[in-house]
Amino acid sequence: MQVERARFDGVLVFTPQPLHDDRGLFVRTYDADVAGEHGLRPETFLQDSLSRTHRGVVRGLHLRTGRGEAKLVRCSHGALFDVVVDLRPGSSTFGQWEGFELTGESQRSVYIPAGCAHGFQSLTEPADTSYRIDRRHDPAESLTFAHDDPELGVQWPLPVVGLSAADRAAPPLSEVRHLLGAAAR
């Protein structure tokens, strides 16, 4: 498994080596030893989740307040455009975003540290997204801000054809910026 550091400090991209044959493919999508060698604490991952998303739909941008939330995100089927927004106070890349194409074929994963917001758009019909999360879900600590916030300027590759009610009603980052300090702890 190859591990690369992304542009933002603490964001890692894990690229496994799928084995293809006439039956299909086999791939190790997570290796605790490899994760540990790159500074992650594998024992902190407490929950695995999966979402299935229709083509063109955007989920996000989401952030966990309080102590924040780290996650390992992978497209297990289809393809998606995954976005990380650095919202860690004091970070040299604060307010910047970086996008990654994740596919079921590559099984590449992105590690997103606490204090970074996350969102994605499905590029296929459908796309399955697998999450490995280091905290139990607490809706009281969920923070959502607008996927189309002009301050961030995220360039979604497809027209946005759907959002959840919460994502549709999300305010711009400028209205929730005062809540970000707690997410970096």
User: Which residues are the active-site residues?
Assistant: 62, 131
Contacts of residues 1-9 at CB distance under 8 Å and 24 or more positions apart, as own/partner, are 1/28, 1/31, 1/34, 3/34, 3/37, 3/38, 6/84, 6/98, 6/100, 6/110, 7/93, 7/96, 7/98, 8/84, 8/86, 8/91, 8/93, 8/96, 8/98, 8/116, 9/91, 9/92, 9/93
**CB-count exposure of residue 21 (10 Å: 0-12, 13-18, 19+):** exposed
Backbone angles phi, psi at 45, to 5 degrees: -75, 120
Closest CA to 156 of 125, 126, 109, 122: 122
CA–CA distance, 107 with 83 (Å, rounded to integer): 16
Amino acid (one-letter) located at 131: Y
